[in-house]
Structure 1
Amino acid sequence: MKLVNTSVKRPIGVIMVVLAIIALGVVSLRNLAVDLFPEIDLPVAVVATSYQDAAPEDVENLISRPIESSVSSVEGIDTVQSQSQSGSSMVMMMFQNGTDLDQALLDVREQVDQVKGMLPDQAGDPNILRFSPEAMPVVYLGLTGGDTAELTEIANEQIVPYFERQAGVASVSVEGGLEREIQVELDEARMSQYGITSQSVMQAISDSNNSSSVGTVEQGNQDLQLRVTGEFESINDIEETRIQTEAGDVIQVSDVATVNDDFKDRSSDTLVDGEPAIVLSVMKQTDANTVEVASNIESSMEDLKGDLPEGANLKTVIDTSDFIEMSIDSVINNILIGGAIAFLILLLFLKSFRATIVIGLSIPIALISTFTLMYFTGQTLNVLTLGGLALGIGMMVDSSIIILENIYSYKRRGYNLFDSATKGASELAPAVIASTTTTLVVFLPIIFVEGLSADLFAPLALAVSFSLIASLVVAITLVPMLSSKLLSKAMEDKGRRYWFDRFLDWLRELYSGGLSRVLKFRKTTVLVVILAIAGSLALIPRMGAEFMPSSDQGQAQITVETAPGSSLAYTQTISDQVNEVLSQYDDVIETSYVTVGATGFESGNQASYTIQMTPVAEREQTTTQIVQNLDDELQHIAGAEIVASAMDGGMQMGDPITIQLNGQEHEVLSDLSEEVLQEINQVDGVFNASSAASEGIPQMTITVDDAVARSYGLTSDQVSSQIRMKFSGQVVTQYREDGQEMDVTLVYPQEERNTINDLQDMSIQSPSGAKVPLDELVELEQEQGPESLLRENQQPQMNITSDVVDRDLGSVVSDVESALDNIHFPEGYSYSIGGQAADMEEAFAELAIALVFSIFLVYAVMAIQFENLLQPFIIMFALPTTVIGVIGGLWITGLSLSIPAFIGVIMLAGIVVNNSIVLVDYINILRRRGTDRIESIIEAGKSRLRPILMTTLTTILAMVPLGLGIGEGAELQQPLAVTIIFGLTVSSFFTLLFVPVIYLMFDNMTTKFRRKKKEA
């Protein structure tokens, strides 16, 4: 090849190009972003709307349903789900893969704007959000050591603005703080005395606090803007607001109400390590680097601590970058160990430090070149891309080994160094290019795979492909050049490694004898291989399946749910008991924080713990084992349902099993869910199964008697409005002070709106001013209401979720489906399996198609290389034998078939044929020289045994560190490494024995066919 000759003739030019690539690679590496996983683009959008103090049924009917109906017509929508609960609605839209989400969000916004006017006046404006797994806090900080009000002011005025100025920080949210509010507390007796209503007070305050432009006037050559200012400048202004009574008198707000500068009622408490605290959640910008943002926050904390008041303490509760850094360090260590192992294997075979250096240079140059290509293609350094490099570390030297071996074969035949380098490299360059191309083309179908598997493993495929391309270029340029200059005396003497040469000679003769026997007993050999494949396939029922291996990130979550309607104080007493249990695990728990009460979409009767454990190396048990022990102890706490679960590796892939019940009525679905729970709780491996149905929240249904109300001149809306005013208060206007804006809220005294008696004794004021007892206008009935209502594609839904322990996901799902078949579902009601189980099924189907296309592409590349359709078919017989290694390897190591393992199978399709290509190609070379057919097969086997052993051992042993799964985050690459290690080991053995047999059998059939054709 011209490229080989040019590189040997122009060594200085090659060296300068290599140095330029190294310099560019170092610069690229410094600028590559570091993260835990590649960016995952989920086509999901959310419409969130508040509806203060509304029951779930009202939220569903008045908010969720109109929004569902409006967005369902947006192009590209796949599924619309809604969750309605007291005070809030969330509508989630899942789009089809490939949908332009930016355009889809614009369409969603237009549709929501059309129905916004139909929503209740008390409903907040719908917020349209783009959901992203990366939209999670990078760092959680705890501010403790002071009065909550003081800490809230410090957080909002001092800490949040400072952090939001740091590079890469998008926003900082405060949890557990107090929200300032101006409360106008009405005195009902005085209001009756002056003959005014709450509506009069509300109107007076609202009218007195506004500014507006009223026009322009001319003054000389200028137009003056006329603006009337009337905003409150102090609390006294609110107290002195004038109200006109029906009698014509003028009074002030202070005559009928007390104005207090206070805080809104708290619906939750936040504690860090058992101490009341303010928790700050730091969100990063979309394109920011997690590790860099966390580092900026850490350094900023040191600057802030000196400015905090005495006693206040700011500390890190959870830092997600810690696990990222440990995972990256773990993968880098595996790369270094794998590289060292590959170097030692080369040194063992080559007996020459110079020769080992020549080939070993392929690794660092390929790695550095890969970093350059990753930077210009927008990839990040994460556990998957680095894992791909760790997996390919042994394959990077394969091409160089084959080239160098052939150069030495020419050298031993008496050629000079220049001719040995050019002829040896040129002769096998086409075979090396073909073998590398077969490895590369298996990744092409992954580009067309959709969903999470594509988002995660396309970067891995690119990383491996870049490294192999770089190593191929090194093999056909740098290796021949260095061989012609440095290896004049290499491997000419036996040296101190003579024992290994003797071992190789013995192994070569043993292989030669074995090959002669299998060529003689060809049918027996084929039968043994078929039986071995069939035996391995019989292990499939014993081999489990899962979506993704779980990573031990050291984070756990505990959810405490007391009886529906429980007070915050009662939930706190249960939380205190949980804290006592957690105190027994101080040796493995670094930090924990808990939110008790209602936050976001959590109910007021819940407490949610987030726990950060010590690193894996510092504890004897895994997070899952600790969580199981915790869960057992927490079940002894009476008065609440408590669930402990491990958080999985930061990917947030949802519950392992989600059973979705669909039908027409929420009540029927609730009953069905209880029956389903009873059935699946008997399945081995189901852990912490729970249903979205609950006992229900106690609620008082108020039914207005329209006829009676009309007789007093009242409407149903006026009655409900006065009840809402009495028990929930009403935001009247906004008060601004020092740049802050706070609500001015009309409320009644706390002691007048606490009990059921306060409701029953309430009076409604009619338009005529008469007071009508509430019990004359309404009928009160206490009942149980739902905690939340779910819908999917505008149909009621109920979800049952479950974790999986001590068994694989595939087996548990199979048993769950069998249990569900025993349940009689009414007509119109059905179930479907969702969660990770559904994602796994979808991903496996797509990857199976990718595997088929990969095999076809491998065959096509070899057909082009050999310009023959039969010989590539012969080489492909190495593929079925990988089944023995893959299934046997996963079964021996106790791993389940997962997406990483499936990716390993696809990679094997391109790797296992490489040895066969080199072997068959050399057989053809010998036959073209006139050597006998059988002799050519045996001689090619003996000659290629050494390079095949070298390439196989470097590839396999370099993956052993990953295959052992040692270190943080290694669980994700372990199935992939195990699949390749065992699959390549077994297939290499069969390549050396089975492929020659198939070659001879097909050659005999071809000879017979040609003879018959000639005779005809």
Structure 2
Amino acid sequence: MISSLITWSLKNRYIVLAMAGALLIWGFINVQKNPIDAIPDLSENQVIVFTEWMGRSPQIIEDQVTYPLVSNLQGIPNVKNVRATSMFGMSFVYVIFEDNTDIYWARTRVLERLNYAQRLLPEGITPTLGPDGTGVGHVFWYTLDAKQMDLGEQRALQDWYIKLALQTVPGVAEVSSFGGFEKQYQLVLDPVKLQFYNVSLMDVMNKVKAANNDVGGRKFEMSDMAYIIRGLGYIKSKEDLESTAVGNYNGIPVRVKDIGTVQMGGDLRLGIFDENGQGEVVGGIVVMRYGENADKVITAIKAKMKEVEKGLPNGVTFKTGYDRSELIEAAISNVKNKLIEEMAVVAVIVIIFLFHWRSALSIIIQIPITIAVSFILLNAIDLSSNIMSLTGIALAIGVIVDNGIIMSENAYRHLAEYQQQQSEKS
């Protein structure tokens, strides 16, 4: 079989060269398509369900939120395990699927089951799905360099401008904000005044919530003109909130400023984000989707950040905290350098010892073709390349070269012996 294949190849050299060229081109195309990352993704195939019910203890969260969700999510097809954790005001449920399950099919089935489980939860509580990213999906971190802005203004800029723009980049599952203060209106109520005006805390909460809203009316026609009537009630300043009526005392409206004060402040924080011991900063974490090319996603993120930077206030710039593309480019550069080094060493050794440039050329051609075929196989079995696989390819180059040198030297020796025998006969 092997001898027949060798004989056929020798008789059809141009066909073999054409096939080698086609493999090289096909492999080059697959190199461009193959997703590349710095580290292999060994995380489980999971869907995260997050539920928030602020102010409740972990035991209440466990009994009224986590347990109903876990008991209903266990019957989904291809589920390997369901894990959950309850903490103050929050519940996390991790649905682990079989490795061969499509992640977006899994997310759809979990969402269908959540629609059924919704009726078992307390009123007003809605579970949500986590981002469609893996445990190693944090590919890029950035911070804001804005010395002239306070942390609250930086966080508002991050949440309402930068984050929304970066989430439009293809391959990005989520941009998570961190650091700073989330601005909020804070009502500081006087319990003595609440008792005097006979107003409860629930009355204040419901009235303030109802007042912060626009209401629709009807169309009013007058003098061949139609007017749309609506009530504008969204709060735009502290004064609007202070003027909100929350009760009635002897026919006189009781406003928020009559029972307390309103101030601008930050939401409760459980930690801070410090950069190199130089103070607090505000920034974001870019999470990549399943199966995306990390290098292309990071390149697109950097291009988008240049566009976003044009709309930032004067003196505000981006600072990179973590960039995985540096590791990816280093791994690619290592493989390229090894290719060049191996080709140069092979050419020098074969030419010095065999004095035959065609033998050196045949060995050099084997290296890129073999690597190209390896990427064809990676795409065929739906595997991404990373530092581990690229390092393996770099190490395998030596085996390819050794095999080529041995075969060329062996063929060269047999040809020399054959020519010597023919000369002796003549």
Normalising TM by the smaller chain, what interval? 0.7 to 0.9
* Residues 411/67 of structure 1: CA separation in 2 closer, same or farther (3 Å cut): same
Which residue number in structure 1 is paired with residue 261 of structure 2? 258
Percent identity, please. Answer: 24
- Equivalent AA in structure 1 for residue 281 of structure 2: A
3-state DSSP of counterpart to 1:354: helix
* 2: CA distance, partners of 1:60 / 1:133: 26
3-state DSSP of counterpart to 2:121: coil
* 1: CA distance, partners of 2:96 / 2:352: 56
Q: Determine whether 1:316 maps to 2:320.
A: yes
- Equivalent AA in structure 2 for residue 293 of structure 1: V
* 1: CA distance, partners of 2:416 / 2:130: 68
- Equivalent AA in structure 1 for residue 418 of structure 2: R
3-state DSSP of counterpart to 2:282: strand
CA RMSD for the aligned pairs? 4.2
Q: Determine whether 1:187 maps to 2:167.
A: no
Deviation at residue 307 of structure 1 after TM alignment: 6.0
* Residues 67/135 of structure 1: CA separation in 2 closer, same or farther (3 Å cut): same
Work out whether residues 134 and 289 of structure 2, in 8 Å CA contact, stay in contact via their aligned partners in 1.
no
Q: Deviations over 1:427-466 (max 9, x none)?
A: xxxxxxxxxxxxxxxxxxxxxxxxxxxxxxxxxxxxxxxx
Work out whether residues 42 and 131 of structure 1, in 8 Å CA contact, stay in contact via their aligned partners in 2.
no
Deviation at residue 36 of structure 1 after TM alignment: 1.8
* Residues 312/97 of structure 1: CA separation in 2 closer, same or farther (3 Å cut): closer
* 2: CA distance, partners of 1:36 / 1:74: 33
* 2: CA distance, partners of 1:7 / 1:88: 67
Segments of 5+ residues of structure 1 without an aligned counterpart are 418-1016
3-state DSSP of counterpart to 1:392: helix
Which residue number in structure 1 is paired with residue 44 of structure 2? 42
Which residue number in structure 1 is paired with residue 63 of structure 2? 61
- Equivalent AA in structure 1 for residue 323 of structure 2: D
* Residues 181/416 of structure 1: CA separation in 2 closer, same or farther (3 Å cut): farther
1:362 aligns with one of 353, 362, 366: 366
Q: Deviations over 1:885-930 (max 9, x none)?
A: xxxxxxxxxxxxxxxxxxxxxxxxxxxxxxxxxxxxxxxxxxxxxx
- Equivalent AA in structure 1 for residue 138 of structure 2: P
* 1: CA distance, partners of 2:284 / 2:176: 6
Q: Determine whether 1:89 maps to 2:91.
A: yes
Deviation at residue 125 of structure 1 after TM alignment: 2.0
Which residue number in structure 1 is paired with residue 248 of structure 2? 245
- Equivalent AA in structure 1 for residue 130 of structure 2: L
* 2: CA distance, partners of 1:168 / 1:112: 26
* Residues 104/42 of structure 1: CA separation in 2 closer, same or farther (3 Å cut): same
Which residue number in structure 1 is paired with residue 129 of structure 2? 128
Q: Deviations over 1:662-711 (max 9, x none)?
A: xxxxxxxxxxxxxxxxxxxxxxxxxxxxxxxxxxxxxxxxxxxxxxxxxx
* Residues 410/380 of structure 1: CA separation in 2 closer, same or farther (3 Å cut): same
1:152 aligns with one of 141, 155, 158: 155
* Residues 230/23 of structure 1: CA separation in 2 closer, same or farther (3 Å cut): same
* 1: CA distance, partners of 2:308 / 2:105: 42
Which residue number in structure 1 is paired with residue 274 of structure 2? 271
Deviation at residue 199 of structure 1 after TM alignment: 2.9
Work out whether residues 332 and 386 of structure 1, in 8 Å CA contact, stay in contact via their aligned partners in 2.
no
Which residue number in structure 2 is paired with residue 283 of structure 1? 287
User: Would you say how many aligned residue pairs link Structure 1 and Structure 2?
Assistant: 415
Work out whether residues 182 and 260 of structure 1, in 8 Å CA contact, stay in contact via their aligned partners in 2.
yes
Q: Deviations over 1:719-771 (max 9, x none)?
A: xxxxxxxxxxxxxxxxxxxxxxxxxxxxxxxxxxxxxxxxxxxxxxxxxxxxx
* 2: CA distance, partners of 1:135 / 1:213: 47
Structure with bigger RCO (C-alpha 8 Å, 6+ apart): 2
Deviation at residue 312 of structure 1 after TM alignment: 4.3
3-state DSSP of counterpart to 1:270: coil
Deviation at residue 176 of structure 1 after TM alignment: 0.9
3-state DSSP of counterpart to 1:133: strand
Deviation at residue 175 of structure 1 after TM alignment: 0.6
Work out whether residues 133 and 290 of structure 2, in 8 Å CA contact, stay in contact via their aligned partners in 1.
no
3-state DSSP of counterpart to 1:413: helix
Alignment of 1:426-441 (within 5 A): none
* 2: CA distance, partners of 1:225 / 1:67: 49
2:417 aligns with one of 412, 419, 422: 412
Which residue number in structure 1 is paired with residue 234 of structure 2? 232
Higher helix content, 1 or 2: 1
Alignment of 1:572-591 (within 5 A): none
* Residues 361/162 of structure 1: CA separation in 2 closer, same or farther (3 Å cut): same
Work out whether residues 213 and 233 of structure 2, in 8 Å CA contact, stay in contact via their aligned partners in 1.
yes
Which residue number in structure 1 is paired with residue 199 of structure 2? 196
* Residues 252/26 of structure 1: CA separation in 2 closer, same or farther (3 Å cut): same
Deviation at residue 272 of structure 1 after TM alignment: 0.7
* Residues 14/415 of structure 1: CA separation in 2 closer, same or farther (3 Å cut): farther
Deviation at residue 401 of structure 1 after TM alignment: 4.5
Work out whether residues 139 and 286 of structure 2, in 8 Å CA contact, stay in contact via their aligned partners in 1.
yes
- Equivalent AA in structure 1 for residue 209 of structure 2: S
Alignment of 1:111-126 (within 5 A): 111-121=113-123, 124-126=125-127
Deviation at residue 354 of structure 1 after TM alignment: 3.4
Deviation at residue 72 of structure 1 after TM alignment: 2.4
* 1: CA distance, partners of 2:306 / 2:98: 46
3-state DSSP of counterpart to 1:234: coil
3-state DSSP of counterpart to 2:157: helix
3-state DSSP of counterpart to 1:269: coil
Work out whether residues 44 and 131 of structure 1, in 8 Å CA contact, stay in contact via their aligned partners in 2.
no
* 2: CA distance, partners of 1:57 / 1:34: 44
- Equivalent AA in structure 2 for residue 117 of structure 1: R
Work out whether residues 346 and 363 of structure 2, in 8 Å CA contact, stay in contact via their aligned partners in 1.
no
Deviation at residue 362 of structure 1 after TM alignment: 1.9
Segments of 5+ residues of structure 2 without an aligned counterpart are none
Work out whether residues 363 and 396 of structure 1, in 8 Å CA contact, stay in contact via their aligned partners in 2.
yes
* 1: CA distance, partners of 2:371 / 2:104: 36
* 2: CA distance, partners of 1:374 / 1:225: 65
Work out whether residues 181 and 264 of structure 1, in 8 Å CA contact, stay in contact via their aligned partners in 2.
yes
Work out whether residues 152 and 278 of structure 1, in 8 Å CA contact, stay in contact via their aligned partners in 2.
yes
Work out whether residues 131 and 173 of structure 2, in 8 Å CA contact, stay in contact via their aligned partners in 1.
no
3-state DSSP of counterpart to 1:84: strand
Alignment of 1:771-790 (within 5 A): none
Work out whether residues 270 and 279 of structure 1, in 8 Å CA contact, stay in contact via their aligned partners in 2.
no
* Residues 269/391 of structure 1: CA separation in 2 closer, same or farther (3 Å cut): closer
Alignment of 1:555-634 (within 5 A): none
Q: Deviations over 1:72-95 (max 9, x none)?
A: 233333332222222222122323
3-state DSSP of counterpart to 2:285: strand
Deviation at residue 404 of structure 1 after TM alignment: 6.9
* 2: CA distance, partners of 1:30 / 1:162: 27
Work out whether residues 232 and 238 of structure 1, in 8 Å CA contact, stay in contact via their aligned partners in 2.
no
TM normalised by structure 2 equals: 0.78
Which residue number in structure 1 is paired with residue 141 of structure 2? 140
Work out whether residues 40 and 132 of structure 1, in 8 Å CA contact, stay in contact via their aligned partners in 2.
no
Deviation at residue 185 of structure 1 after TM alignment: 2.9
* 1: CA distance, partners of 2:171 / 2:131: 19
* Residues 267/382 of structure 1: CA separation in 2 closer, same or farther (3 Å cut): closer
Q: Deviations over 1:100-148 (max 9, x none)?
A: 55444444334433333333347x4212337753553211112242421
Deviation at residue 335 of structure 1 after TM alignment: 4.6
3-state DSSP of counterpart to 1:42: coil
3-state DSSP of counterpart to 2:62: helix
* Residues 115/135 of structure 1: CA separation in 2 closer, same or farther (3 Å cut): same
Structure with bigger gyration radius: 1
Q: Deviations over 1:192-239 (max 9, x none)?
A: 3333223333333334344456789999xxxx9987535325334433
3-state DSSP of counterpart to 2:134: coil
* 2: CA distance, partners of 1:80 / 1:282: 27
Alignment of 1:692-703 (within 5 A): none
3-state DSSP of counterpart to 1:136: strand
